[in-house]
Each structure stands twice: as structure tokens, then as C-alpha cells.
Chain A
Amino acid sequence: EAQVTQNPRYLITVTGKKLTVTCSQNMNHEYMSWYRQDPGLGLRQIYYSMNVEVTDKGDVPEGYKVSRKEKRNFPLILESPSPNQTSLYFCASKTHGMNTEAFFGQGTRLTVV
């Protein structure tokens, strides 16, 4: 089954404790992206990757890191989480092209206390 898998689905952590949210896709997609979704602000792009070893900042990259060492994986790293990073996070992937569909993971609800 074609899918984007995020882990964990839910996470509560403390300020400053490094964490990683994993994202994996099995569709051989070149493009992968991370978004955060907050009430009233919609989906905001954190980072995206057009292919292996190619990453770019989105609209809200501060406080986040990513890496793309393999095509299927695109982890999101919070080196020192803060409460303002409490949010719902989505990973997405798609093939290149303007009319291609993006497939989303189920989301990771992160709470930083």
C-alpha cells in the first residue's frame, strides 16, 4: 500500500530535549516536505526537499533541522524544542511535476512543556 508513515503519532516532551520525528514514504517520490498546522494559520511549510541531499527552507524553518540522506526518509529534528513548537506536524511526498498529488502522513501531535 502506498503511504507516508510518520512516527510517533503523539509526543509530549520537555523544553530543550532533542527529538526527531521520522517520515518515510514507499512511493519513490523525489519531493518531500514538512508542515506544521496551527489553528487559524493553516499549513505552514517548515522545510522541503526536491531530492536526496537537497533541502530548502520553507516559511517557518527556525528551530528545525532536516536531512535527506535516502530518498524514502525525511526526518524532522528539533534540537532544542520550545513550547511555541507545540503543534500538529505533517510530512508529505510527491513526484516532481506541477499536477502531481501530494500524499500526507497521518500527522504527529507534539506538545512541548
Chain B
Amino acid sequence: QKEVEQDPGPLSVPEGAIVSLNCTYSNSAFQYFMWYRQYSRKGPELLMYTYSSGNKEDGRFTAQVDKSSKYISLFIRDSQPSDSATYLCAMNEGKLIFGQGTELSVKP
């Protein structure tokens, strides 16, 4: 079993939709959870990180961690075409462990 699982998509939504991106993980010791965004032909860049359980909000983005279910989510409100990218969840336990990434396309 992979340590981090993420549905690769692709996911296509209309502009203004609420997007939900999810990852599951197997190691209950993980405490630090990150979301990276990768635009086409670019390296990934950190979008948000959270520690342990709970929610964290940053503008239109909300990261949520449910440690009891080993499940993390990224919600994007009022999605924009500029949000079109691949979103990768990551666990940071000294070394970074990434999910497969979900390719998101927001259509105008």
C-alpha cells in the first residue's frame, strides 16, 4: 500500500464551482500536511500547510485534516481558470512524501 494516495483525475469544473481535492494516507504518525500546486511545465510550489487535525483557511483555499480517518482535503471556493493546475498533497516527516497529484481544469 502506498503511504499517500491521491486520485489523479483529471477533474474538470466550471468557473465558480467549489472544488474538493482529497488524499488518504496510511501512517498515523504523520503530523504535517502540505498542499503543493504545479502549473504546467513548472516545478511544484507550496500552497498551504497544516499541522495535525483541523482546518486552515487562506483566501479561497481551505485545507482540512481528519487524522481519525487519515484523510486530508483541499477546498477551493469560487474556482477560477487560473486555478487550473496539478495539486499534490504531501506529508512532511523529515523527507517529503507526495501523492500522485490531481490535475484540475477550471473552464471559463
Contact = CB atoms under 8 A, between A and B. Distances in A.
A4 B32 CA distance: 23
Given A42-B6, A43-B88, A100-B92, A105 B43 contact: yes
A24 B27 CA distance: 32
Given A33-B95, A92-B96, A102 B6 contact: no
Contacts of B100: 40-42
Contacts of A101: 46, 49
Contacts of A104: 43-45
Given A40-B8, A42-B99, A90 B44 contact: yes
B79 to A, nearest CB: 22
User: In the complex, which range does the number of interface residues on chain B fall in?
Assistant: 20 to 34
A97 to B, nearest CB: 8
A56 B96 CA distance: 13
Interface string B20-41: 0000000000011000100001
Contacts of A81: none
B61 to A, nearest CB: 16
Interface in B59-108: 88, 90, 92-101
Contacts of B42: 106-107
A74 interface: no
B88 A33 contact: no
Contact of A43 (B32, B46, B92, B98): B98
A44 B90 CA distance: 12
A84 interface: no
B60 to A, nearest CB: 20
Nearest to A106: B43
A21 to B, nearest CB: 14
Contact of A90 (B31, B43, B92): B43
Interface of B: 6, 8, 31-32, 36, 41-46, 49, 51, 88, 90, 92-101
